[in-house]
Amino acid sequence: MLRFIDCHCHISAGDFDKDIDGVIENSKKAGLLALLAVAEHAAEFDKIIALSQRFPGFIFPCLGVHPVQAVSPEQSRAASVQDLDAALPIIEKYKDQLVAIGEVGLDFTPRFISNECDKESQRQVLIRQAHIAKELDLPLNVHSRSAGRPTIHLLKEQGVDKALLHAFDGKPSVAMEGVKAGYFFSIPPSIIRSEQKQKLVKQLPLENICLETDSPALGPEKQVRNEPKNISISAEYISKIKGVSVEKVMEVTTQNALRLFPKLQLAIRP
Ligand SMILES: [Zn+2]
């Protein structure tokens, strides 16, 4: 029996509005047991909660403020504490339903960052969300881009002990610092076209690897909508690199996800 967990996807994205039922049905056929729906900003929180209620026991909500906030389809900026202030009452309202706080993190991609203030603002937003996660006893679902080392260092400094680093783009040696801290790393289907992710998986112990799709992004083909059903592409590629069966990758990554997100254990029975 197939049983995967997609630890990070954006199922609330407008890309899925037209055919969400088909997308969910296909992901179940592909062996998905559960899907973690992460948020990027407060305006989509209600939609994520509504989706988790429409697909109970299958879509699990994570709410958080992403380090990069869209101003328009063409323009983005660093997250600010004001963005977080708008999000906090909604997080508080739904806290009992959440399986994690996310998507949170640091993104130092040059086009999103104009100065040191932007980086500091992202750090403050992440630090506050790390504290909220601790208070609620929830793990963090973490984004890091061009900021692998600062992200892992900040999490460790803040005493975070439960974190998923999604689509980590840093060096394997930096990832290994996260492994020492007990963090998990989720691998998207884009691994088939990313030498960096292949190198990362070579280094990471299977015991610290989870699966994700980051749908609609990070699919096997660039510019093509990614879907949760593609989760097996990650599992197959990891199995090749690690020289173990796909079943083994599935079993270990699913157990890892259940350990990291204990609320899933109560809701699904693998
Ligand atoms: Zn994401």
- pLDDT, one tens digit for every residue, the chain (270 residues): 669 999 999 999 999 999 999 999 999 999 999 999 999 999 999 999 999 999 999 999 999 999 999 988 888 999 999 999 999 999 999 999 999 999 999 999 998 888 899 999 999 999 999 999 999 999 999 999 999 999 999 999 999 999 999 999 999 999 999 999 999 999 999 999 999 999 999 999 999 999 999 999 999 999 999 999 999 999 999 999 999 999 999 999 999 999 999 999 988 765
- Tell me the one-letter amino acid at 238: I
Task: Determine the Cα–Cα distance for residues 46 and 208; give it in Å rounded to an integer.
Answer: 31
- SS3 at position 184: strand
* Superfamily of domain 4-268, CATH level 4: Metal-dependent hydrolases (3.20.20.140)
**Residue 166 marked ligand-binding:** yes
Which tokens go with 137? 């006893």
Q: Give Cα 179 to chain centroid, integer Å.
A: 16
User: Under a CB-based contact definition with an 8 Å cutoff, are residues 127 and 154 in contact?
Assistant: yes
Task: Give the burial class of 48: count Cβ atoms within 10 A of its Cβ; 0-12 exposed, 13-18 middle, 19 or more buried.
Answer: buried
Which tokens go with 204? 């990471």
pTM: 0.96
**Residue 143 marked ligand-binding:** yes
**Residue 66 marked ligand-binding:** no
Distance 120 CA to ligand 1 centre (A): 21
Distance 167 CA to ligand 1 centre (A): 8
What is the number of other CB atoms lying within 10 angstroms of the CB of residue 18? Answer: 9
